């Protein structure tokens, strides 16, 4: 067994998924990624706001 026998099936699976799953989705995948990014940023900013308020309340800000 060599490295090629391990990597070839992984490469074939990646090529198959791009050809049969991601490519037909087209621009929809872009919109899914953009929406996910905005949701993640909003979540992160909300958490940061809570951490900042707690730090100000406790007097642990720099």
What is the overall mean pLDDT for the chain? 92
Report pLDDT digits (tens) over 18-43. 899 888 888 888 899 999 999 999 99
In contact, 35 and 28? CB cutoff 8 Å: no
d(CA 13, CA 2): 18
Report pLDDT digits (tens) over 43-62. 999 999 999 999 999 988 77
> Residues 12, 17, 23, 26: is their CA dihedral positive or negative?
negative
In contact, 55 and 61? CB cutoff 8 Å: yes
> Residues 37, 39, 42, 44: is their CA dihedral positive or negative?
negative
* pLDDT, position 30: 87
d(CA 2, CA 29): 35
């Amino acid at each position: 067994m060599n490295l090629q026998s391990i990597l070839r099936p992984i490469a074939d699976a990646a090529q198959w998924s791009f050809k049969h799953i991601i490519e037909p989705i087209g621009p929809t995948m872009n919109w899914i990624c953009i929406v996910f990014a905005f949701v993640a940023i909003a979540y992160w900013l909300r958490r940061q706001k809570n951490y900042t308020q707690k730090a100000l309340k406790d007097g642990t800000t720099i």
